Amino acid sequence: MKPPLRTAPDHSLTGYPPGVPFIIANEGCERFSFYGMRGMLVGYATALAVNLDGVPRPEAELAGKALVHEFFSWVYVFPLLGALLADRLLGKFRTILWLSLVYCLGHAALAFFEDPATQLRWFGAVWLNPREGLGLGLFLIALGAGGIKPCVSANVGDQFGRGNWDKLRRVYNAFYFIINFGSFFASLFIPLLRGQEVVDPLTGHISWTGSVAWAFAVPGILMGLATIAFWAGQSRFVHVPPSVPPRLGLLDVLSGTGLFVAFAGPVFFPRATVLGDLAVCAAGLLVFAGVFRVRQRLAPDDGFFAQLAHIVASMWREQVQRFSSGRVSAPPAPGGHWFWRHAEARFGAAAEGPRAVVRIVAIFGFVTVFWALFDQKGSTWIQQAARMDRHFDLGFVAFTFLPEQFLFVNPALVMLLVPLMSLGVYPALERRGIAFGPLRRMTAGMVIASLAYVSVALIQSSVDSRPAGEVHLAWQLVPYVLLTLGEVLVSVTGLEFAYTQAPPSMKSVVMGFWSLTTSLGNKLVAVLAARLSGLSATEFFWVCAALMLVAAALFGLRARGYVTRDYTQG
């Protein structure tokens, strides 16, 4: 008989928890898997549009860019469901394990359906060809990668008790390092499996010197090994159980899924018609309202959505009473804020949680533009690199980069800049009495990201005005340095800000909204790529730089009026 799994950390343990190496190994392989696949998407999606649909190369590149950012938006919206599953029903370990298997199936779909000869048929009709296989694979990967994203780092923290809490920061540093370590090597080596692009001069058909199937399969194999390693370490983990009993947890997941479908469905998975989107939204809201009502009758909850639902219902009852009594004006509100007073009366001190979330979300909204710029390094920057001279001769060694390989610069710079900023720059500014708190850092990061796109636009202008392959790829180091510095100032700082500004009961909700900013940013790029398809690449980059500068200015103005709070100690 197996011994029971530990559900709480050993507070007498002073060393590192035994499950940590398995978690870090799993994360390194998963990040290698994700970034190895991600860099090739824009080129592969472009090739499918050219080869299967006969779309001209410029239009195919626009379609490829839009698809890549749609996929990124899926990846960062599914953490809302992953956090719900882990916190309310399955627990972190089972959520990570089962969604990792979904992740592996996504890689298998990409590799299997890459060859047009590999098609599923249903009653004689082609059911899944490479295009449908790509859509299926990306959806499964987004569901898997996005679903486990909010669980993995929290699972690290679950392993530590009072005796070894001082080691948590070092483990998180190792955790962040392994993410970029996996990204670094994936960006360098996976494109080599696919090889150089070859374009038929007569038909324009795109092929490669290597194997696309293996380039998609190897990251999937790494993800499979990561899943096995994670499963093998289960007896060494602390398994924090869900926060509610299974029956209530199931109702929470069903109601939350209904709300997710109502709002995320029409935005991230739109139907062909507006009526279709409205029908999906209405169905999701009905499911949410019905299941949520049952759940609250069984055991009232005081979470974020429970309080918002109570506020909406209370305000609706007030309006009904006002009209039924014939009063023209609303009755004077009792003490408290006009919107939050109902929650304060019902939930007391717990009503501060949703108010804190709304304050933070009002700040986060401007960060969506940053992510719209940041993730284009995996699409438009690759397309720019493909038109540049990618040969480097260092005297003692010469080599030629594939367009996707230059993505390695970002994780390499992150591994250098994070310790440089945290151990050198920030303390130096503090010693000189210069206040450089989280919101100022984020504002500066957004301005620097705008400058990155100014440099990208100038490079693109030079690329467009000269023969192909004349402008050297080394010029992209300038925007890479600027964008990565912006990432360190915005992303790393934003996570710290979100954690300290959210009450303990709302930290997972806030992290879900933080992930949502990345999703909306990528959705913004996909929409802009479609709406501004008449712009040249240079003009598109200038638009991005201008949007980022405006968002930075608005963020800075909003930040000046923000009153910081510290909920670190609960």
CA 484 to CA 491: how far, in whole Å? 10
Q: Choose among 139, 127, 132, 89: nearest CA to 114.
A: 132
CA distances from 322 to 25, 310, 317, 331 (A): 61, 18, 9, 8
Of 408 and 152, the structure prediction assigns the larger pLDDT to: 408
Percent of the chain clearing pLDDT 70 (strictly above): 92
**pLDDT confidence of residue 504:** 64
Domains of the chain with CATH codes: 10-244 (1.20.1250.20), 252-349 (no CATH), 350-570 (1.20.1250.20)
**pLDDT confidence of residue 123:** 45
pLDDT above 70 (res 336): no
The pLDDT tens digits of the residues spanning 524-564 come to: 998 888 888 889 999 999 999 999 999 999 999 988 877 77
pLDDT above 60 (res 570): no
Element at 220 (helix H, strand E): helix 212-232
**pLDDT confidence of residue 569:** 43
3-class SS shares of the chain: helix, strand, coil, % to 5 = 75, 5, 20
CA distances from 334 to 68, 330, 340, 343 (A): 51, 12, 11, 13
CA 504 to CA 513: how far, in whole Å? 15
| Alpha-carbon torsion (313, 318, 322, 324), positive or negative | positive
Query: Residue 492 has what DSSP assignment?
Result: I
**pLDDT confidence of residue 422:** 81
pLDDT above 70 (res 135): yes
Burial (Cβ within 10 Å: 0-12, 13-18, ≥19) of residue 523: buried
Q: Choose among 460, 474, 465, 461: nearest CA to 400.
A: 474
CA 170 to CA 31: how far, in whole Å? 19
pLDDT above 70 (res 461): yes
Give the position of tokens 């059911």.
127
Of 37 and 509, the structure prediction assigns the larger pLDDT to: 37
Of the candidate ranges 168-177, 415-424, 547-556, the one whose mean pLDDT is the lowest: 168-177
Pairing state between β 125-128 and 120-122: antiparallel
Phi, psi (deg, nearest 5) at residue 495 = -65, -45
- When pLDDT is averaged across residues 372-387 and rounded to a whole number, the result is 94
**pLDDT confidence of residue 30:** 86
Tokens of 304: 């974020």
380 in Cβ contact with 359 (< 8 Å): no
Of the candidate ranges 40-49, 317-326, 543-552, the one whose mean pLDDT is the lowest: 317-326
pLDDT above 60 (res 120): no
